[in-house]
Amino acid sequence: MFETLETHMCFGGSLKICRHPSAATGTGMRFSVFTPAGPGPFPVLTFLSGLTCTEENFTVKAGAYKKAAELGLMIVAPDTSPRGDGVANDAAYDLGQGAGFYVDATEAPWAPHFNMYSYITRDLQDILFAQFPGDRKRQGISGHSMGGHGALTLALRNPDLYRSVSAFAPIVSPSTVPWGEKALAAYLGPDQSRWRAHDACCLLADGVGRGAFDDILIDQGSADNFLEPQLQPHLFTQAAAEAGQKVTLRLQEGYDHSYYFISTFMDDHLEFHAQRL
């Protein structure tokens, strides 16, 4: 049953916190949605958050809604994983609840619930356009860190669904960095050939989504503690150059991995998407 848990007036529009049952995860899932003033239908931007986050992090910290209201953008921020009693978890912050990695798990104990790829591309789509005045044909996707990985991989695999894509400090090559190696092995098993469908660099190398986007915008802070061990955006620009995909990578001097960084450049990303939607 779809539930509206909170409603707030925001920059002339409406911000709602919602919960609904998901067939993909077998759990209730939460998301926030900002709808600007007017009847719609509105272009829709989905923002995928990073490790340890819920739908609340972007909603409270990103500072996106004033510009979204000006641009007439609807913004959706889902949770990062299934949660609840009976849902597998891990003591570490980078696996389990809060760390869904936007894949469909095939391995125990994760497979029954950790199907975030299907949740974002199917279940969230269904409830969103049944309940809100969004335009299904004008959608973009963005995200941060683990969510940036999700945005890139979901967009490349679903260019019929998303017309624009951007990311903040994304994990671009999870097959080759500690965060991704741990998560993909746990969720998908040890056969690394199965990881390629969830690795943005591998997708480009395999020709998936090639030429689907006129540009991909990535912002990365130069003072990000995770830049070298986990993120390595140069790997994506190299893969994109070889695939003929334009990427605008902006290295922002002195910025870290936090929402202070995200909120600083959020308006640029919203304008980027609005121009393409």
Beta-carbon contacts of residue 230 (< 8 Å; ≥ 6 apart): 171, 177, 178, 179
Active-site hit among 149, 257, 269, 273: 257
Active-site hit among 145, 164, 166, 173: 145
**How many whole angstroms separate alpha carbon 38 and alpha carbon 230?**
42
Q: Whose CA is closest to 258, among 52, 87, 76, 120? A: 52
Active-site hit among 94, 224, 269, 273: 224
Active site residue 224: yes
Active site residue 257: yes
Active site residue 85: no
Pairing of strands 74-78, 27-35: antiparallel
Distance of CA 48 to CAs 9, 81, 232, Å? 23, 11, 19
**How many whole angstroms separate alpha carbon 112 and alpha carbon 126?**
20
Q: Write out the catalytic residue numbers.
A: 145, 224, 257
